[in-house]
Amino acid sequence: MSHTYFDSENGHKSFEMPGARPHYNPDRPGQVEHIFLDLVLDIPKQSFRGTCSIRINPVRSGIDKLTLDAVNLNIKSVKVGETKQDFDSDGEVLQIQLHEPTAAYEPITIAIEYSVEKPQRGLYFVGPDKHYPDKPTQVWTQGEDEDSRFWFPCFDYPGQLATSEIRVQVPKQFFAISNGELVSTKNDGDDKIYHWSQTQVHPTYLMTLAVGDFAEIKDEWNGKPVNYYVEKGREADGKRSMGKTPQMIEFFSKAFGYPYPFPKYAQVCVDDFIFGGMENTSTTLLTDRCLLDERASLDNRATESLVAHELAHQWFGDLVVIKHWSHAWIKEGMASYCEVLWTDKEYGKEDAAYYMLGEARNYLAEDSFRYRRPIVTHVYREAIELYDRHLYEKGACVYHMIHAELGDELFYKAIHTFVRDNAHQTVETIDLLRAIEKASGRNLMFLFDQYVYRGGHPDYKVAYSWDGDNKLAKVTVTQTQIKDSKKDNGNSKDVFDLKIPIGFGYKPEKDADERSAANIKTFTVRVYEREQSFYFPLEEKPAFISFDVGNKYLKTVVLEYGVAELKAQLQFDPDPVSRIYAAKALAKKGGLEAVKALSEVLKKERFWGVRAEVATQLVEIKLDQAFEGLVSGLKDKDARVRRAVVNALGKIKTHETYKALRSIVEKGDDSYYVEAAAASAMGSIAGANPDEKPTDEQVLKELKLVLKERQGWNEVVRSGAISGLAQMKASEDALNLILKYTAIGTPQALRLAAIRSLGTISTGQTKLNLERILHRLAELSKETFFLTQVSVVVALGQMETRKAIRILRSLADQTPDGRVRMMADEAVQRVQKNVGSDAAVKQLREELDQVKKENQDLRSRMENLEAKAKKD
């Protein structure tokens, strides 16, 4: 079942890029039992040498040839015992011709002596250079998915589990950390030797090494060391960012029904890390960008989520290992879902529900704008392509649905069973289904069939009406993802068949504010056709309707209720996600009444997430009165709401808004993100055509000042100014300023923001300037650092000239990274589409915007007149 592949439908782009093919684990000559790396690092030369010893237990007799993955390793010799073996190494694999064929179940140890110079991947050397003299000297590894073969020869796929040992010699001033326990250290002249041993089995992609002059912050959980390693001087940031780890270990030990399994847990923050974090067994590596200073910790929860995510992997991924990449959702979905579970524990139910909505939206965006695919598929070009929002966020949604379907008790019982039964082993999706069945008796195949083994999700439209004479509520549910026929009803393979609770809510009797007192009468109906109507006899007319009470299912939903019902739901529905849906539907109805209701909620709603969403919705009602409502939100006590308000204000392109935003930038805000959003929005107003628009000069002056003065944490604020400049598409001065910040030596975060923004600004520039941009991006595309390449691809993908395609193609050909290649290929398609929308269409679009703006003025005035007339 897990290998069924459904192609995408309904005009959704296919996931499969040209060249995609099925991938299987290789045949297994035997069980790898132990891997021992004995290495000497030469940091100045960015090279290392040593021996990799692999003990393998042959599965049968008579094997005389072994094929190991080994990319660009200089193999010096291969020995079994003292006997030299013949071998052949072609830069991809190492073929060993065994002198003596194997005897079944009689283990042999193969010792491979090798060296590596300037490795391309797998093991990374980071250090100062003339452009970045302050960069720390570090060495770190990244194995997932198939990069361990770039730093040691191995059977490089997750289906092989073995114990491991790493002994490494480094210059004395450095510390070296690896999986498991430190068994010994030894001084050797100017060097020091660290010997680490991992005695529980794990796959090659989780073997790691990190070397640097770190500060060590000691913590513990149940007597086990829980240490944080950061660059010296950032100890306080380290504690602030990772300090909740022991509580998290406690929480996940209980949630998984299995105490933390490894002898220690270390988190090492490294420079230039290409991912957010990597859950190497007992030794997680994190990007040093996750380290929060005090001000950033005000409204940054991303770091806490990252810490929870990587920690959860120690069980889901490291203790229970996936057998093949096609099942990676089991670990990535769970680690992402654990961000939700931790949010629930730490910040409560509403925050967790809102976090879950964010996960769903991330997946939905990829599904609409990128491609649709089944979560489980083994058809791809490179495994790393699977690491997308289907794998992580949709995977999290699937776990949430399992949780909702089983309820708390059975869900945790099933998870405990799954972890206990599969500890120190490999799993496939079917094993999760089996554990659920074993623990709960429930067969969730229907859920997996619809959400895991095939792409997509239901798009519901829900209409409601009340028949007062018969006291009947009528609810009509349409699955709008089924485009075509009425005849096809129920038979289409796109139809979802789910049992969905529909609630009818009544206002609380006394305290009108007491949401928890709102009384909801719930009926569960089976929704399995394209369109179905349900009739519910009720004693009284409900105040609001709640579709999918508790928001169990991954879906989109459009509500077609009356204004009164939507307003009541916005006020009384205990589920914040339902309130957000109501806000959206209300905004869609538009009009002064909606503006009033939403403005009121922005002031009074207790949960910050709903206030932030309401701000976003308010601006969608194209009435000038929305401005008044929004502006009051600038005083919100929660920085995340202020940020949403500022972003929303950026869409109201008037001089008045500009003044409000400028004052935020000038006076500053407690939050980096709010300041950044304000700087960015200022630029977008300057880039539009407001009636009394601030001159480019004025705005440039403001943003220049930000760039000059607001250095700081991860360059968030200055990157906001860059994004503002990018919106001033017709300004040559803005372009020149951005180009200046793409220079090497610019702090990396700021430089990457400047590179990305070249795409946005390119669409309004003169031909000559467009050439300058292309030239600069072509130069930058030659830099090999992963994050630079990604930024270049993002910029080129936004351009509207065929010349961008050539640079993208050559980047795709030359990059060693599968993700960059895939992104570049997708960017080519985007540019082709952009080019299709020629200048004439652009002109029309601008004219239309102008007409819309005038129309909005008229409507706003009319609404005011009507409101007055009503009062009179």
Q: What residue is closest to Zn ion based on CB?
A: 335
The nearest distance, CB 336 to Zn ion, in angstroms, is: 7
Q: Where are the beta strands (DSSP E) in 172-291?
A: 175-178, 181-188, 191-202, 209-212, 214-221, 224-231, 265-270, 277-278, 283-287
Shortest spacing between CB 370 and Zn ion, in angstroms: 19
Beta-carbon contacts of 529 under 8 Å, excluding residues fewer than 6 positions away, are 479, 489, 490, 495
Query: Across the strands, what pairs with 380?
Result: 21
Q: Would you state the structure tokens that stand for residue 346, as one six-digit string?
A: 């730490």
Residue 477 is encoded by which pair of tokens? 């549910």
Measured from the CB of residue 477, what is the shortest distance to Zn ion in angstroms? 35
Q: Of the two residues 145 and 669, which places its CB atom closer to Zn ion in the complex?
A: 145
* Residue 282 vs 762, nearer CB to Zn ion: 282
> Binders of Zn ion among 319-338, rule CB under 5 A?
332, 335
206 binds Zn ion (CB under 5 A): no
Beta strands 379-380 and 283-287, pairing class: unpaired
The number of C-alpha atoms within 13 Å of 146 and in the hemisphere containing its C-beta is 24
Four-point Cα dihedral 596, 599, 605, 607, nearest 10: 140
Nearest distance from C-beta of residue 383 to Zn ion, angstroms: 14
Rounded CA-CA distance 157/144 in Å is 10
CB of 304 to Zn ion, least distance (A): 15
Binding to Zn ion (CB under 5 A): which residues in 332-371? 332, 335
Closest CB to Zn ion among 248 and 805? 248
674 within 8 A of 643, measured Cβ to Cβ: yes
Residues 695-754 that bind Zn ion (CB under 5 A): none
Q: Which is nearer to Zn ion, 418 or 561 (CB)?
A: 418
Q: How far is the CB of 261 from Zn ion (least distance, A)?
A: 17
The closest alpha carbon to 199, from 226, 185, 181, 222, belongs to 181
Closest approach of Cβ 308 to Zn ion, in Å?
Answer: 11
Closer to Zn ion by CB, 175 or 337: give it.
337
Contacts of residue 187, defined as CB under 8 A and 6 or more positions apart, other chains included, come to 172, 193
Scanning residues 531 to 590, which ones bind Zn ion (CB under 5 A)?
none
Least distance from C-beta 147 to Zn ion, angstroms? 16
Residue in this structure with the two tokens 């398609």, named with its chain if needed: 829
Q: What's the min distance (Å) between Cβ of 697 and Zn ion?
A: 47
Cα angle at 749 between 745 and 752, to 5 degrees? Answer: 80
Query: 753-782: which residues touch Zn ion (CB under 5 A)?
Result: none
- Cβ of residue 335: shortest distance to Zn ion, in angstroms? 4
Tell me the C-alpha to C-alpha distance, in Å, between residue 833 and each of 89, 139, 143, 848. Answer: 44, 42, 36, 21
Backbone angles phi, psi at 675, to 5 degrees: -60, -45
Torsion of CA 261, 266, 272, 276, to 10 degrees: 40
Report the length, in residues, of the chain: 872
Pairing assessment for the beta strands 320-322 and 425-427 based on DSSP bridges:
parallel
Q: Which is nearer to Zn ion, 776 or 819 (CB)?
A: 819
Contact 406, 440 (CB under 8 A): yes
Residue 771: strand, helix, or coil: helix
**The residue to which tokens 């929005």 are assigned:** 681
Going from the C-alpha of 582 to that of each of 559, 565, 579, 587, 594, the distances in angstroms are: 7, 9, 5, 9, 11
Reference 599, options 562, 624, 581; nearest CA is 624
**Residue 332 or 817 having the CB closest to Zn ion:** 332
CA distances, 88 to each of 70, 76, 146, 495 (Å):
11, 11, 21, 54
In b/e form, how buried is each residue of 553-584, taking b as 16+ CB within 10 angstroms? bbbbbebbbeeebbbbbbbbbbbbbbbbbbbb
β pairing state of 531-537 and 472-479: antiparallel
Question: What does the DSSP 8-state code read for residue 58?
Answer: E
Nearer to Zn ion, 338 or 353 (CB): 338
Q: Which residue has the tokens 């060391």?
A: 225
Q: What is Dmax (Cα atoms) for the chain?
A: 103
Centre a 10 Å sphere on the Cβ of residue 183 and count the other Cβ atoms it contains. 12
For residue 432, the minimal CB distance to Zn ion (Å) is 17
What distance in Å separates the CA atoms of residue 256 and residue 414, rounded to the nearest whole number?
Answer: 9
Amino acid at 719: S
CB of 279: closest distance to Zn ion in angstroms?
Answer: 6
Residue closer to Zn ion, measured from CB, 78 or 335: 335
**Dist. CA 263–CA 280, nearest whole Å:** 13
DSSP class per residue in 391-433: IIIIHHHHHHHHHHHHHHHHHHHHHHHHHHHHTTEEE-HHHHH
In terms of CB distance, is 314 or 551 closer to Zn ion?
314
Q: Shortest distance, CB of residue 111 to Zn ion, whole angstroms?
A: 34
CB of 230 to Zn ion, least distance (A): 21
Amino acid at 512: A
**312/568 with CB nearer Zn ion:** 312
* Total of residues contacting Zn ion (CB under 5 A): 2
- The minimum distance between CB 305 and Zn ion, in angstroms, equals 11
Closest separation between CB of residue 332 and Zn ion, Å? Answer: 5
CB of 357 to Zn ion, least distance (A): 20
Alpha carbons 721 and 741: distance in angstroms, whole number: 11
Choice between 284 and 723, CB closer to Zn ion? 284
Applying CB under 5 A, the residues found at the interface with Zn ion are: 332, 335
